Amino acid sequence: MSAILYPVAPDAEAALAAPLGRAARAREAAALARGESVRFVTQGVGPEFATREAALEAHAGKVEDDRPGRLMTLAPEDRFCRLMEFVAPVGGRRRILAPAAPVFAEGRRWPDRPQAPAATLWRLQISFWKVGEAADLAEGPQARQQRRRPDAEPDRDTLRALTRQPLRAVRPQQPLDIGLFEVRPPEAPHTVIADE
């Protein structure tokens, strides 16, 4: 399995047009950035499109296309872009849909939709190594520890940074134990033998 080679660049437009190089790991990205700090980010780039077909036409060759007659599959290392669908803003603000409450009436659990479905837009999202920006919470407490703190609720930006930080182990992984039907012979304790 090949790793995705993400662009290394100072911003999303540069990552799409002219990156410094491409790297799969943070240490490789730091080497391409000549010692500057790097952080893995995913950002929207380019205009918004009303339909998925228009977005696929505009970004041909950058994302996979599954339409009949235009089928295109990217190599595994080139899959750093994707199309993202989001709810179109109404009056300059993002529309937030209220959750539906169950009714349990006349053999139905959920009510009929009271409103028309929200209009959506499509935009290209690119994942890349951003140069010149230190990792915000990567060295700080883990998300599970941050959530348990008794102080005030974190703001929107802090929550977004917590959800985008890489997963880290709580403690180092312990060596694997031997199975139920395996034994270590006394003459070679470094060897595990199946005992069935």
If residue 39 lies in a helix (H) or strand (E), which one and from where to where?
strand 38-49
Per-residue pLDDT band for 9 (boundaries 50, 70, 90) equals: very high
CB 88 within 8 A of CB 119: yes
The more confident residue out of 21 and 108 is 21
Could you report the per-residue pLDDT of 44-67, keeping only the tens digit for each? 998 999 999 999 999 988 898 888
Could you report the per-residue pLDDT of 102-135, keeping only the tens digit for each? 888 777 787 766 666 778 899 999 999 999 865 4
What pLDDT shows up at residue 152?
57
- CA torsion 141-42-120-102 (nearest 10°) is -20
Where exactly are the structural domains of the chain?
1-92+117-134, 138-169
What pLDDT shows up at residue 1?
41
CB 23 within 8 A of CB 8: yes
34 phi, psi to nearest 5 deg: 55, 50
Average confidence score pLDDT of the chain = 81
- For the cut 60, the answer to whether the pLDDT of residue 90 exceeds it is yes
What is this structure's pTM? 0.61
Per-residue pLDDT band for 176 (boundaries 50, 70, 90) equals: low
Could you report the per-residue pLDDT of 139-151, keeping only the tens digit for each? 556 666 776 777 7
- For the cut 70, the answer to whether the pLDDT of residue 192 exceeds it is yes
